[in-house]
Amino acid sequence: MTWAHFIWFAVLALAAWSAGSAAAFSGKGTNRMAIVFYVGGIIVYGLFIGALWISLERPPLVTMGETRLWYSFFLSIAGLITYLRWKYKWILSSATLLALVFTLINLLRPEIHNQVLMPALRSIWFIPHVTVYIFSYALFASAFLLALTGLIKPSADVLSAIDNLCKAGLSFFTIGMLLGAIWAKQAWGDFWSWDPKETWAAVTWLLYVLYLHTRKMNVKSKKFFYLLIVSAFISLQIGWYGINYLPWASHSIHNYSPNSSGK
Amino acid sequence: MIINPHWFAFPVNALAGLVIIFVGWRAKKLSSITHIVIALALVLAVCLVQGFMPAGYPFTRTWPFVVALVWLLVVLTSALFRKPSLTYFGLWLALFAGVLGAADSYNGQLLVHKDGFSGAPLPFELRLTEFTVDTYPGGEPMDYRAGIELSDKNRTVNKTLRVNHPVSFKGHQLYLSDYGKDRGDGIPYCILMYTRQPWRWLVLSGILLMMAAALKSFFK
């Protein structure tokens, strides 16, 4: 199984997700067909990741293309959980749309070198650090979509759902970040060194922590909270891949591209 | 404007820690959510500045940065005295030991040769005995191993250093960070990073408590 087969899995999974998204709009409450289609799409996507893992003989978590794969996968899971828990009809279509964007990037711009795992990444902390992080990204993406909805349609009542997504997302984000800190001590000698990626992780973490704290205060403006969620999500994107394009941050020790030392 | 951490070496940092705890204990008002939000926003502001800093400028060792972190510590201390919380305590402990412990920590890099011992500024001597590179079938490096002989007045030990597998000796941790080019007769030297962080167990405890709190809040 290689990236050449990806298009078939991607088309099948996205077709299933689209069918599920459409089914979600019919009837009241949660729709059974929507769930069946959605789970089917998740299984198809998961099968490709599993097969790729086996054929690469290393976890597919190294290149940007590979992390986008996990992102689409976890995004659909987070979307389904949100749908089951809060019954928003449109959340499945939004999650599908985001998954489609990330899948299309993988199909059109594959930075998919079949890199082998370099010594710096051979560590037991590697898989938990990255997967826990990406799962939190997916939860935060759902919160971001809800915040956009709130900004566009001020009558929508989405704040309590955002609260729950942020709490779950922040739990995972915190664990991902701290697993990284323990790994950093083992690999680089210090828990935290204010490397660009670490700094932007701290900014993101603080913004979500501030959201959950200010929610307990008597702030009347809903727009304030939506904008906080939007800026936290932007900061997340900077830390995830944006720093690769910031000229002053390209020296990051988190840079594992083949041309950098990765140390 | 840049702070030399060693001005605050023990016992100055311990005294500063006591002052932080004392102020937090006395200043009841600082435990309010408004003060927590202000303190978090201050740290956010300095982190944002750091996020746009050019490489090499040690903004994290300037007064604004350190004061923002210390202020958050004071506010967290005050909140913890009024209302204990696992999340706050974990964050407090990791920050407290991280900020104050930095004054007693040091690190540096060291070239370790095959011939002859080199040790300074460490209180022991090192020598590279052998360096091997394991490769994947395609020839890409899979793992680096450096055999190191460590010796002080009383004893000599042999250890193997690998990336992600540091070695401890006499209160120091040694990390493999680079190696010299093979010019036909084997790899002549390797570069080690050494650190000494006497407060690291406190930082680690804080990190583990925070992770426990995050798990707890997810399953609640």
Query: Are A93 and A63 found together in one domain?
Result: yes
> What's the pLDDT at A134?
87
> What's the pLDDT at A202?
98
What interhelical angle do A222-240 and A126-152 show, nearest 10? 150
Average pLDDT on B124-143 reads 87
Q: At A120, is the pLDDT very low, low, confident or very high (cuts 50, 70, 90)?
A: confident
Using CA atoms, how far apart are residues A62 and A76, in angstroms rounded to an integer? 21
Query: Are B167 and B130 found together in one domain?
Result: yes
Using CA atoms, how far apart are residues A186 and A206, in angstroms rounded to an integer? 25
Chain A and chain B share a number of CB contacts under 8 A equal to 115
What letter does residue B42 receive in the DSSP assignment? H
On whether any CB of chain A is under 8 Å from the CB of B178, the answer is yes
Nearest alpha-carbon partner for A170 in A162, A182, A159, A158: A162
What's the CATH code of the domain at B167?
2.60.98.10
Nearest alpha-carbon partner for B82 in B31, B20, B27, B36: B31
SS3 content of chain B, % helix, strand, coil (to 5): 45, 25, 25
Please tell me which residue of chain A has the smallest CA distance to B177.
Answer: A263
Residue with tokens 């205060």: A217
Whether residue A81 has pLDDT greater than 90? no
Mean pLDDT of chain B: 92
Whether residue A210 has pLDDT greater than 90? yes
Angle ∠(B126,B149,A186) on CA atoms, nearest 5: 80
List Cβ neighbours of A32 (8 Å cut-off, separation of 6 or more): none
As beta bridge partners, residue B159 has B148
Instruction: Give the mutation candidate from B207, B209, B220 for the A interface (greatest A CB count, under 10 A).
Output: B207
On whether any CB of chain A is under 8 Å from the CB of B54, the answer is yes
pLDDT in tens, B2-31: 899 989 999 999 999 999 999 999 999 999
**Residue, of A13 and A244, whose pLDDT is higher:** A13
Domain finish residue from A116, A136, A165: A116
> What's the pLDDT at A259?
47
Query: Are A220 and A240 found together in one domain?
Result: yes
pLDDT in tens, A237-263: 999 889 888 888 777 878 776 544 333
> What's the pLDDT at A63?
77
pTM: 0.87
Query: Are A125 and A248 found together in one domain?
Result: yes
Of B54, B138, B218, Cβ closest to residue A168 = B218
Query: Are A94 and A179 found together in one domain?
Result: no
Helices (H) and strands (E) in chain A, counts: 8, 0
- The verdict on a CB contact (< 8 Å) between A190 and B107 is yes
What letter does residue A116 receive in the DSSP assignment? P
pLDDT in tens, A54-80: 998 888 887 778 888 998 999 899 889
Q: Which helix (H) or strand (E) holds B193?
A: strand B189-196
- The verdict on a CB contact (< 8 Å) between B200 and A185 is yes
Q: Which two tokens stand for residue A144?
A: 């971001």
Query: Are B57 and B91 found together in one domain?
Result: yes
pLDDT in tens, A22-53: 999 987 778 999 999 999 999 999 999 999 99
- The verdict on a CB contact (< 8 Å) between A210 and B107 is no
Closest-CA distance, B77 to chain A, in angstroms, reads: 17
Of A167, A209, A213, Cβ closest to residue B33 = A213
Residue A172 with chain B: CB contacts under 8 Å:
214, 218
**Structural domains of chain A, count:** 2
ipTM for this prediction: 0.94
Domain limits at B9? 5-104+199-218
Q: Which amino acid is at A36?
A: V
Residue B37 with chain A: CB contacts under 8 Å:
210, 213-214, 217
Residue with tokens 């210090």: A190
Region of poorest pLDDT, from A110-119, A209-218, A241-250 = A110-119
Domain limits at A141? 120-263
Residue A197 with chain B: CB contacts under 8 Å:
none
Whether residue B117 has pLDDT greater than 80? no
pLDDT in tens, A152-181: 999 988 999 999 999 989 999 999 999 999
- The verdict on a CB contact (< 8 Å) between B204 and A207 is no
**Structural domains of chain B, count:** 2
> What's the pLDDT at A110?
67
- The verdict on a CB contact (< 8 Å) between B164 and A119 is yes
- The verdict on a CB contact (< 8 Å) between B54 and A248 is yes
Q: At B118, is the pLDDT very low, low, confident or very high (cuts 50, 70, 90)?
A: low
C-alpha separations of A105 from A68, A75, A101, B83 in Å = 9, 15, 6, 48
For residues A80-93, one letter each, b for 16 or more C-beta atoms within 10 angstroms of the residue's C-beta and e for the rest, the string is bbbbeebebbebbb
H-assigned helices in A87-216: 91-108, 126-152, 159-188, 196-214
Region of poorest pLDDT, from A239-253, B57-71, B201-215 = A239-253
Long-range contact list for A222-229, CB < 8 A, 24+ apart? A222/A150, A222/A154, A222/A159, A223/A151, A223/A154, A225/A147, A225/A159, A225/A162, A226/A147, A226/A148, A226/A150, A226/A151, A227/A147, A227/A151, A229/A143, A229/A144, A229/A146, A229/A147, A229/A162, A229/A166
pLDDT in tens, A95-104: 898 899 889 9
Query: Are A103 and A127 found together in one domain?
Result: no
